Structure 1
Amino acid sequence: CNMVLQQGIEIPVWGWASPGEKVTVTFEKNTASTRTGKNGKWRVNLPKMDYGGPYKMTVKGKNFRTIENIMIGEVWVCSGQSNMEFKVKTTKNAEAEIAAANYPDIRFFTVKRRVSKEPQENLDEGEWWLCSPTSVPDFSAVGYFFGRNLYEHLKVPIGLIHTSWGGTVAETWTSAETISQDPDLAEMLGKLKNVDMNAAKVGPNAYPTLLYNGMLNPIIPYGIRGAIWYQGESNASRAQQYKRIFPNMIKDWRTKWNQGNFPFLFVQLANFKKPVAEPSESEWAELREAQTQTLQVENTGMANIIDAGDADNIHPTDKQVVGYRLSLAARKVAYGETLVYTGPTYKEMKIDKNKIFITFDQVGKGLKSNDKYGYINGFTVATKDGDFKWAKATVINENTVMVTCNEVENPVAVRYGWADNPDDLNLYNVEGLPANPFRTDTRPGKTK
C-alpha cells in the first residue's frame, strides 16, 4: 500500500501464482484478467489514468489481495552510488529539513541492497512510505529534494523508487546483454560464475551486471516517468571508457523498461580535492567531459554542480542544490517547460592573434560574473606545444567571453574548469546556473 503509479501511461501490474491460474485485477473501474504461464508469472496492463487518489486495487486468483491508499502521479527512479545513497539526515540544515518534511503525497520506496549473478524478478522486502519527519531521515537526500521540488511545482503525487549502492561503477548497473557487446567488459561476464558472492556483497564494483540483476531488474517494468542518476566517481579513472559505458547503460535501461526513451537526468561530478597551483590533466575533468558528451543521447539532462562541492569531502552536504537543479532539468526535458535549466555551455571558439573568443549556448538572459577577481577565473590557454597557462577572461556580450594570457602570444586551445577541483569558478548565467567545464582540445589525458 501507499504506492504511486505513473499517470498517463498503461499501468503494468504483475505477480506470481500457480501455473495456469486465472488472475483478475480490479483498479477503480478497470478490470483485467489473465492466466499465469508455466513459471507462474502473470502480468496485465491497466488503462492509463490521470493523477489522483487514494484508490484501491484488488488482485483475485485462488487467493485474494487488496492494496490500498494508491495514488496516481509522477514516478521517478533514483539510482547511482554514494551521493545518491546519501541520506537526508546527513545533509546541511538536516534538522530543519526533516521537521518540515510533511508531504503525504510524496511516497518513497528503497530497494534493499542485493547482488546477483542472474536477473532477479522479485524483491525480498521493501515497502512504500509516506514522506514525513519520521520516514524521511534515512531516504536519499537527492531523491527527496528532487521530488519535493517537483511536487511543489507540479502539485501531483510523486513516487520515488531509490535503488543505489555506494562506491559502484556504471557497468554493475547494466545488463549482461549490453555488457556482452562491450569489448573491454565482455570477458568479465564469463568470470561471473566463479565469483564468491559473499565477497561481491562487500564490493559489487569489481563485476558488471551484479546490481542490475539484483536491484534494478526486479523493479522493471514498473511504470515510470524517468530516472535520476548520481554516479561517476568510481569510473573517473576510466573516463574515456565511460563515454561508451554510460550512454550504453542509459539505452540498456530504456530497452529493458520498454517504455520509450524516458527522460534520464544525471548529476555531473562536483568539484573535489585540493585545488592545483598550475594547470594540469585531471581524471575528474575528463569524467565530466564524458558526462557532458552523454547529453547527445536523446531525452537526457544534466545538473551541473561544479560550484557545490567540497574540497575535503567526496560527499558534499548541499544536496538541496542538486535536487533543485535536477528538478529544473526534469521540468525542461520531461515536462516540456520553456525555461533555462542549465548553465552556459561551450558552443564555439574563435582565435584572433592573442585573444580567444568563446561563445556559449544556454546563456538565458546573458552571461554573468560575480567579478570578485576583476576577471573570470578558471580559464587556461595552450601554446602550440600544448603547454597550458592560466588565463583571464571577461564578458564582452550576453553570450561571449574574451580570454587572454600575457604568457601566450598565439594560443591554440582553451580550457575552463579543467581540474578535479577548479576552485571558485565565477562564470554563470543571469539565472544563477554555473558555466559547464569544457576544453577545445582533444589531446590524450590521464584516463583510459
Structure 2
Amino acid sequence: MMIKLPEIFQDGMVLQQNKPIKIWGYTDIKKPLQVQLDDLKPQSIGIFSDGDFLVELPAQQASNGSLLKFISDGKVVRTLSVKIGEVWLIAGQSNMDFNLKYDRDYQQNRQKVLSLIRKETNLSFYQVPQRVVSTDQATGGSWEPITENNAETFSAIGYYFGLKLSNVKSNIPIGLVWMSYGGTTASTWTSKQALESDPILKKTYIDSYHHILATRAPEAYEGFLKMVNAQANNPENEPFWDNVLAGKVSHDELVQAYFNHHELFVDYVLGPNSENRPHGLFDTMVSKIIGYRFRGCLWYQGESDDQHAGIYDHLLTALIKDWWNRWNDHFPFLIMQVAPFEDWFGNFNGTFYPEIRTKQSEVTDMLPGVYLTNVMDDGMKYDIHPKNKKLPAERFYKLALSKVYKSFNNGESPKVISVVLNDKKLKITFNNCKKLIKNNELSTILAIKRNGIPLEFNDIKIVDNTLQIKLPNRLTDSQYLEIDYQQQDYSHAGLFNENSIPVTPFVKYISNN
C-alpha cells in the first residue's frame, strides 16, 4: 500500500493556523482512506479514479506537536509529525535567495548573528527544490528547524524576518517556505495561462520565446549549453562568486574579471534549459506547493525585469492574481521595491529601476491586500545585492505587523496622497506617516521643474505628514510643475516616516492650465 505526498508534506512541516488545511497526494489503496489530525474526528478522503486524492481539514489553533495520520480499514498506514503555526512564503530572485553567510553582519561577527537563535526559537524552513527542468537533481526539499549549522545557507532575509516573528509570536511555530532563484524574471514564476490571458504579456514573453525557438538552429543552442556547462563547472567559479557576494571583490576587480576572465561568469540564453523561459519555474517549482496554506508572501524581485520595465505592472499583477486564483486564497502580498544601484561589473546598470519601482507602487495601489516597503536608504552604488540583509527583513517585519497582524502603525512605505499648490507654497502630503523626517540627502534627490526647467528652492519645512516647499515664483498660465523624488539610478533616501521607513520614490505633476 502506498501513499505519495507532495515533497513539502513531511515530518517537521509547519501548517498554517486558523485556515483550512488542504492535504493532497496519490494512493494505490483501493479501500476508503481517512486522514486524522491528533484526536479530531477523522475526515474521509475523496479519491479520484486515477488515485489522486484531496481532503481539507478544519482550521486549527497553533500546536507544537501534532500527528497527521492516514488511516485505511481502521489501521494507521502513515503518520507525519507536524506543527501548526504561522507560515510565510518568501519568494523572488537573488536578493531573496541571498544566503546568510554573505550578509554584512554575519561577515563581521558570525557568532553574534547566530546567537540570535535562542533555545526557545521555534522557527523551521523548507526550501522548494530549485529545479530548472523537472529532471534536475536539486538541493532543498526538507523541513528543517533553524540551527547554527544550517543558518548560513538559508535566506538572510528569511533568517532575520523569521527570528523577529518568532520572538513576537512566542510559543507559536513559525514556518518559512523559501522559493527563490537568482536572476529570474517574474514571467518564469507565472503560469502559461496567466501570461497568455494578457495580450501584452503573451506577445512579450510567450510569442517572442516561441519565435526564438523557431528561428534558432538547435545545434547553436547545444553549443551554448556546452559553454555554459564549462563555465558553471570551472573550479574557480564558486570561490570567486563567494567572495563577490560577500563583498570582498572591489568594483574595479569585478569589472576587470568580467572582461578579462569571462570564464568566471555564467552566460544565459533563453531556451528550454533556461530558468527564465516563460512559466518555466512556475511549472517546476510553484506548481509543487500550490494549495499549501500561508499567512502571506514576502516578494523581493524585479531586478531582472528592467528590460521590460514599462509592462512590469502587467506582469506582477498577472503573477499575484494567478497565485491567488490557484491557491483559492487571497493571502497578503508584501513587496520590496528593488534597491538603488548604479552599475554592477560594468554590464548591468540601474537605469530602468526607477520605472520598475513606479510599477511596483502602482500594483500595490491597484490590488487590495498588496503592500509595499523599500530599502531606498541602503542601496550600494556598485552592487545589485545590498549586503545588509537585516534591514529589508526589518522592513518586511514592520509591514507584516502593520498590515497582516494589525499590531503596528504605519509599517508601510509612505506614499504621496495629495499635492497642492497655493500661491507659491507647494504642499505634499503622505499616508502611512504621522511625522515626516528629512535628512541632508533630500536636497540632492528632490527636484522640481517648471516647464521642464529645474527650479532652485531651499525653503523646505515639515508639518506633521506634509512637506511644504516655498517656490520662488507663482505658476502662470500654461506652466506646469514636475516634482521628482529619488528618480536617480543610484541615491539614498531623504524622507522617512516616524518608524524610519523611507518614502516611496515618486513623480508628480501640477498644471496651471
TM-score range, shorter chain: 0.7 to 0.9
Note the aligned Cα RMSD (angstroms). 3.0
Unaligned runs of 5+ in 1: 275-280, 443-448
SS in 2 for 1:235: helix
- 2:445 paired residue number: 378
Q: Which amino acid aligns with 1:174?
A: T
1:273 and 2:345 matched:
no
- 2:506 paired residue number: 438
Cα gap change, 1:235 to 1:388, in 2 (>3 Å): farther
- 2:13 paired residue number: 3
1:203 and 2:274 matched:
yes
- 1:143 paired residue number: 158
1:395 counterpart (446, 461, 468):
461
Cα gap change, 1:376 to 1:189, in 2 (>3 Å): closer
1:162 counterpart (174, 178, 196):
178
Q: Deviations over 1:51-77 (max 9, x none)?
A: 122112222359922212x21101111
Answer yes or no: is the 8 Å Cα contact 2:17–2:86 preserved in 1. Answer: yes
- 1:446 paired residue number: none
Q: Which amino acid aligns with 1:45?
A: E
Unaligned runs of 5+ in 2: 1-10, 215-220, 226-269, 344-349
Partner Cα distance (1:136, 1:226) in 2: 22
Answer yes or no: is the 8 Å Cα contact 1:104–1:130 preserved in 2. Answer: no
- 1:17 paired residue number: 27
Partner Cα distance (1:393, 1:272) in 2: 29
- 2:149 paired residue number: 134
2:89 counterpart (70, 74, 77):
77
Query: Higher mean Cα deviation, 77-86 or 59-68?
Result: 59-68
- 2:353 paired residue number: 284
- 2:191 paired residue number: 175
SS in 1 for 2:80: strand
Cα gap change, 1:55 to 1:322, in 2 (>3 Å): same
Partner Cα distance (2:393, 2:155) in 1: 10
SS in 2 for 1:434: coil
1:86-235 aligned within 5 A: 86-94=98-106, 95=110, 96-102=112-118, 104-116=121-133, 126-155=141-170, 156-187=172-203, 188-189=205-206, 200=271, 203-205=274-276, 207-235=277-305
Answer yes or no: is the 8 Å Cα contact 1:19–1:39 preserved in 2. Answer: no
Q: Which amino acid aligns with 1:139?
A: F
How many aligned residue pairs are there? 426
Answer yes or no: is the 8 Å Cα contact 1:394–1:402 preserved in 2. Answer: yes
1:326-337 aligned within 5 A: 326-337=396-407
Q: Which amino acid aligns with 1:284?
A: Y
TM-score (norm 2): 0.76
- 2:47 paired residue number: 36
Partner Cα distance (2:197, 2:488) in 1: 32
Cα gap change, 1:124 to 1:411, in 2 (>3 Å): closer
Q: Deviations over 1:16-44 (max 9, x none)?
A: 11275532212112212224212221111
Partner Cα distance (1:320, 1:176) in 2: 35
Q: Deviations over 1:290-314 (max 9, x none)?
A: 1111112111111221002111111
TM-score (norm 1): 0.87
Cα gap change, 1:201 to 1:21, in 2 (>3 Å): farther
Query: Higher mean Cα deviation, 335-344 or 314-323?
Result: 335-344
Answer yes or no: is the 8 Å Cα contact 1:23–1:34 preserved in 2. Answer: yes
Partner Cα distance (1:131, 1:147) in 2: 10
Cα gap change, 1:266 to 1:390, in 2 (>3 Å): farther
Q: Which amino acid aligns with 1:271?
A: P
Whichever structure has more helix as a proportion of its residues is 2
Answer yes or no: is the 8 Å Cα contact 1:347–1:361 preserved in 2. Answer: yes
- 2:8 paired residue number: none
Q: Deviations over 1:151-199 (max 9, x none)?
A: 2122221110011111111111111111111213325546569698977
The structural deviation recorded for 1:318 is 1.0
- 2:314 paired residue number: 244
1:417-436 aligned within 5 A: 417-423=486-492, 425-436=493-504
The structural deviation recorded for 1:380 is 0.7
Q: Deviations over 1:105-144 (max 9, x none)?
A: 11100011113599x9xx9971100011112111111122
SS in 2 for 1:114: coil
Cα gap change, 1:262 to 1:21, in 2 (>3 Å): same
Query: Higher mean Cα deviation, 31-40 or 44-53?
Result: 31-40
1:65 and 2:82 matched:
no
Cα gap change, 1:343 to 1:222, in 2 (>3 Å): closer
Q: Deviations over 1:379-432 (max 9, x none)?
A: 111221x24467546223112223357699766110101112123x32222222
Cα gap change, 1:116 to 1:203, in 2 (>3 Å): closer
Cα gap change, 1:392 to 1:60, in 2 (>3 Å): farther
Answer yes or no: is the 8 Å Cα contact 2:342–2:351 preserved in 1. Answer: no
Answer yes or no: is the 8 Å Cα contact 2:95–2:301 preserved in 1. Answer: yes
Partner Cα distance (2:68, 2:405) in 1: 28
- 1:54 paired residue number: 65
The structural deviation recorded for 1:369 is 1.9
1:287-298 aligned within 5 A: 287-296=356-365, 297-298=367-368
Q: Which amino acid aligns with 2:373?
A: A
The structural deviation recorded for 1:253 is 0.5
Greater CA radius of gyration, 1 or 2?
A: 2
Answer yes or no: is the 8 Å Cα contact 1:142–1:320 preserved in 2. Answer: yes
Answer yes or no: is the 8 Å Cα contact 1:376–1:393 preserved in 2. Answer: no
